[in-house]
Structure 1
Amino acid sequence: MQIQSTGCPLPISDQLVAIIQQQFNSTHCDASAGFVLNFRDPDYSAESGGYHPVEIAVDENGRILYITDFAYYGSGPYAELDKEIDFDFSYSVFQHMGREFPIARGAELFELWQSNFCDYVTRQVFEVSISSR
């Protein structure tokens, strides 16, 4: 499967496409219905912070469906991991902290997020897992 970056409502960098492709190629996941990549910082917690978990879903044709960045809300035993930023390419919707906008409103944030995320992956701060959709 080749990851597709054309036809997305926001520009996806070649570096991000290469990261997704490399992670897919390094596993033996059944991608007949697509797959989901999970990037996790094992030390991330509500108390000490760290790198936010990220989930990227790809359909069976290699199109990126969504990219979701999670964060803890609250503190102590009441902290919950929830969506902070969500770029839903399949519905052209951008969500930030529970509010929904047309995806074009998230273009600048997506560009910044993408650059930071690619840098974090390069620095190997995440443990990565993949599963079938």
Structure 2
Amino acid sequence: MSLPILTDGLVLPVSNVLIQILNDELTRHASGLKPLHEASAITFNFRDPDYSAKRGGYHPVEIRLSRSGDGFRFDYLTDFSYVGAGWDIELAKEIDFDIHADCCEVRFCRPVPLRAAVDFFTTFQDNFVAYYQLGVFTVEVSVEKADE
């Protein structure tokens, strides 16, 4: 199963390797998903089951695609990390590439347009792919229908 992921017009240089990872995970999870022809969006959640506020680990990453004609386009790629102290610790956005808002946000930094974050995105993507290839993530895939 190969999902048509459209990247034309996208400022961020999404690699073919990342697209292949998403297609591989979609194929791996296909039996438990709603039919893709009915999908309005697909969300991929990559998590290190050992990641915790105390031990650290590999940050969770969420990637969302939404329907665009006969294919799907990126909505966002978001990296999460634990923030806070004591009893007030929670997962929060660390890095967010928001395609619709044309914005890259990194915690504690001012937002910048995606075109100003291309090199940063390339490094983020390379690291994510390397961590994925190490097998550190468990992956969940969910499909949304337009009427949900």
Per the TM superposition, whether the score is higher than 0.5 is yes
- Cα distance, 1:100 vs structure 2: 2.1
Within 5 Å, give how 1:1-133 maps onto structure 2: 1-28=3-30, 29-30=33-34, 31=36, 32-60=39-67, 61-97=71-107, 99-133=110-144
1:61-96 CA deviation, whole Å, 9 max, x = no partner? 221111000011123321111001000112211111
The answer to whether the Cα contact below 8 Å between 1:70 and 1:82 also exists between their aligned partners in 2 is: yes
The answer to whether the Cα contact below 8 Å between 1:46 and 1:74 also exists between their aligned partners in 2 is: no
| Residue segments in structure 2 that go unaligned for 5+ positions in a row | none
Give the TM-score taking structure 1 as reference length: 0.92
Report the aligned-residue RMSD: 1.4
Aligned residues between the structures:
133
The answer to whether the Cα contact below 8 Å between 1:5 and 1:17 also exists between their aligned partners in 2 is: no
Please say which structure displays the higher CA radius of gyration.
Answer: 2
- Aligned partner of residue 33 in structure 1, secondary structure: strand
| Residue segments in structure 1 that go unaligned for 5+ positions in a row | none
Q: Distance between the aligned counterparts of 2:87 and 2:114, measured in 1?
A: 34
The answer to whether the Cα contact below 8 Å between 2:11 and 2:118 also exists between their aligned partners in 1 is: no
Structure with higher strand content: 2
Give the TM-score taking structure 2 as reference length: 0.83
Identity of aligned residues (%): 38
